[in-house]
């Protein structure tokens, strides 16, 4: 079986990292017939990218969006322009391990899977020293479809597409595309799990993920909050359309477990952020608007620390109108959390 991997890299103002990203591909010295690189510049501020990378690298397509459309729609552009039979999504501030593409090709020839999962390392640049944490993804493929759906909607597994490689014909056949906005991975990966009949796991370290200051995942704002709820609502509507809740109403509790967990993470992220107190209060109140629109208290559990913090947030955030009330709110959250959340000044 012939394998050609299309490596799709959206780029937006990440020039500090892109050379390392591309070198991790081209230093593997593979034949051009085995891979292609599709670099899509999402209307970055600098205009010199075409000249720089066409001169340095071969076998690369460079596309520039006329306006900024976000990482998800930019990846769709990559899929449309891909000629490989497998798709690998690589963020421009990340990189691949040595010999990773060759290992993937050998695995895909043998398994012919719709989705191939592999291990990755997280490089935490926010710590005082660059800490590395190896993550194994084998549990994603050792479960049946129902279990994967339960784990996904209860937020028990990662929803990033960058730790998998996808068969292009499978993606096109099932009309799987990225949504606009942030958290664009969520529905794409969920549909991939839902429709896939053959998944495989490559027990090798393939991907290095950089956790850095200023990245989307480390930025908390109204758009990120809104798009997360939009993504999970899209999953809910998709499952409704597929009659997945019929005779299976218990699935709702897993959906709300995932929502509860996210609300908790969102609250903590806002409190920990470097934003002003006024902006924190505003974001928390905006968050509560989305929570009330999307959250059904009928399924709300009250057992874990996350549940209790989410419950306290929902019942008290609207009462905060002064700095002193916000301080009391934080103290009560920390008491439930049983440890400090904000750095003390």
Based on the fold, state whether residues 145 and 249 are members of the same structural domain. no
Q: Is residue 307 part of a domain?
A: yes
Structural domain span for residue 311: 220-337
List the CATH number of the domain containing 46: 3.90.550.10
> What tens digit of pLDDT does each residue of 13-35 get?
887 888 899 999 999 989 999 99
- Of 201, 216, 231, the last residue of a domain is 216
User: Which of 153, 148, 151 has the alpha carbon at shortest distance from 114?
Assistant: 148
Q: Residue by residue, what is the 3-state secondary structure of the chain? A: CCCCEEEEEEECCCHHHHHHHHHHHHCCCCCHHHEEEEEEECCCCCCCHHHHHHHHCCCEEEEECCCCCCHHHHHHHHHHHCCCCEEEECCCCCEECCCHHHHHHHHHHHHCCCEEEEEEEEEECCCCCCEEEEECCHHHCCCCHHHHHHHHHCCCCCCCHHHEEEEHHHHHHCCCCCCCCCCCHHHHHHHHHHHCCCEEEEEEEEEEEEECCCCHHHCCCHHHHHHHHHHHHHHHHHHHHCCCCCCCCCHHHHHHHHHHHHHHHHHHHHHHCCCCHHHHHHHHHHHHHHHHHHCCHHHCCCCCHHHHHHHHHHHHHHHCCCHHHHHHHHHHHHHHHCCCCCCCC
Q: Are residues 43 and 186 in the same domain?
A: yes
Do 205 and 269 lie in one domain? The reply is no
Assess whether 145 and 244 both reside in one domain: no
Alpha-carbon span 190 to 79, nearest angstrom = 18
User: pLDDT per residue over 229-243, tens digit each?
Assistant: 888 888 988 998 988
Closest C-alpha among 38, 43, 67, 31 to residue 53: 38
Banded pLDDT at 174 (limits 50, 70, 90): very high
**Tens-place pLDDT, residues 98-157:** 999 999 999 999 999 999 999 888 887 655 555 555 666 666 666 788 888 888 888 888
pLDDT above 60: residue 216: no
344 is a domain residue: no
The set of residues, in sequence order, having a beta carbon less than 8 Å from that of 94 and lying 6+ positions away, is: 17, 21, 162, 207, 208, 209, 210
pTM metric for this prediction: 0.88
Q: Residue 343 falls within a domain, yes or no?
A: no
Question: Are residues 151 and 290 both part of a single domain?
Answer: no
The backbone torsions φ and ψ at residue 306, rounded to the nearest 5 degrees and listed phi first, read -65, -40
Q: How confident is residue 344, by pLDDT bands cut at 50, 70 and 90?
A: low
For the segment 266-289, what is each residue's pLDDT rounded down to a tens digit? 888 888 888 888 899 999 998 888
In terms of Cα–Cα distance, which of 191, 180, 226 is closest to 74? 180
CA 321 – CA 22 distance, rounded (Å):
50
pLDDT reading at 217 higher than 80: no
85-102 burial: b if 16+ Cβ within 10 Å, else e = bbbbbbbbbbbbbeebbe
* pLDDT of the residue at 161: 92
The predicted pLDDT at position 49 comes to 62
| 256, 271: one domain | yes
- Average pLDDT, rounded, for the chain: 84
Kindly tell me if the per-residue pLDDT of 95 is higher than 90.
Answer: yes
Q: Are residues 197 and 331 in the same domain?
A: no
How confident is residue 296, by pLDDT bands cut at 50, 70 and 90?
A: low
Cβ(2)–Cβ(85) below 8 Å: yes
pLDDT attached to residue 59: 86
Could you give the C-alpha distances from 195 to 72, 137, 219, 244, in angstroms and in order?
Answer: 20, 19, 32, 13
The answer on 28 and 44 residing in a single domain is yes
Region of poorest pLDDT, from 75-84, 115-124, 192-201: 115-124
Task: Output the pLDDT for position 213.
Answer: 61
Closest among 113, 101, 85 to 3, alpha carbons compared: 85
Domain end residue (candidates: 194, 216, 238): 216
Region of poorest pLDDT, from 183-192, 196-205, 330-339: 330-339
Would you say 178 and 76 are in contact if contact means Cβ atoms under 8 Å apart?
A: yes
pLDDT score recorded for residue 127: 55
Reported as a pLDDT band with limits 50, 70 and 90, residue 94 is: very high
Average pLDDT of span 315-324:
86
Question: Are residues 315 and 240 located together in one domain of the fold?
Answer: yes
90/62 same-domain check: yes
Q: Are residues 91 and 22 in the same domain?
A: yes
Residues 209 and 249 in one domain: no
What token pair was written down for 341? 């959340």
Among residues 171, 190, 216, which one ends one of the domains?
216
Is 345 among the domain residues? Answer: no
Does 342 map to a domain? no
- The predicted model gives 245-250 an average pLDDT of 75
Decide if pLDDT at 302 tops 70: no
Domain count, the chain: 2
Q: Is the dihedral of CA 228, 232, 234, 235 positive or negative?
A: positive
């Amino acid at each position: 079986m012939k394998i050609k991997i299309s490596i799709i890299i959206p780029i937006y103002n990440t020039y500090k990292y892109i050379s390392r990203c591309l070198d991790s591909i081209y230093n593997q010295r593979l034949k051009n017939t085995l891979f292609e690189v599709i670099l899509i510049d999402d209307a970055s501020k600098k205009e010199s990218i075409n000249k720089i990378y066409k001169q340095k690298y071969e076998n690369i397509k460079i596309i520039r969006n006329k306006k900024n459309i976000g990482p998800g729609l930019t990846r769709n552009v990559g899929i449309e322009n891909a000629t490989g039979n497998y798709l690998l999504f690589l963020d421009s501030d990340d990189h691949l391990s040595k010999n990773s593409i060759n290992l993937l090709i050998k695995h895909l020839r043998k398994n012919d899977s719709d989705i191939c999962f592999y291990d990755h390392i997280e490089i935490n640049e926010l710590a005082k020293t660059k800490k590395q944490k190896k993550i194994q993804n084998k549990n994603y493929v050792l479960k049946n479809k129902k279990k994967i759906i339960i784990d996904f909607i209860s937020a028990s597994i990662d929803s990033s597409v960058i730790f998998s490689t996808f068969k292009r014909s499978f993606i096109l056949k099932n009309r799987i595309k990225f949504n606009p906005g942030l958290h664009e991975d969520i529905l794409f990966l969920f549909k991939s799990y839902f429709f896939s009949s053959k998944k495989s796991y490559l027990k090798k370290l393939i991907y290095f993920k950089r956790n850095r200051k200023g990245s989307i995942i480390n930025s908390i704002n109204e758009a990120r909050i809104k798009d997360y709820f939009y993504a999970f609502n899209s999953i809910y509507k998709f499952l409704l359309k597929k009659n997945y809740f019929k005779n299976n109403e218990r699935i709702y509790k897993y959906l709300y477990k995932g929502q509860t967990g996210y609300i908790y993470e969102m609250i903590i992220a806002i409190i920990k952020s470097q934003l002003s107190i006024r902006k924190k209060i505003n974001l928390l109140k905006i968050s509560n608007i989305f929570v009330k629109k999307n959250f059904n208290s009928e399924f709300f559990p009250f057992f874990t620390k996350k549940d209790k913090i989410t419950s306290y947030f929902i019942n008290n955030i609207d009462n905060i109108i002064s700095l002193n009330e916000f301080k009391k709110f934080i103290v009560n959250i920390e008491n439930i959390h049983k440890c400090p959340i904000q750095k003390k000044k």
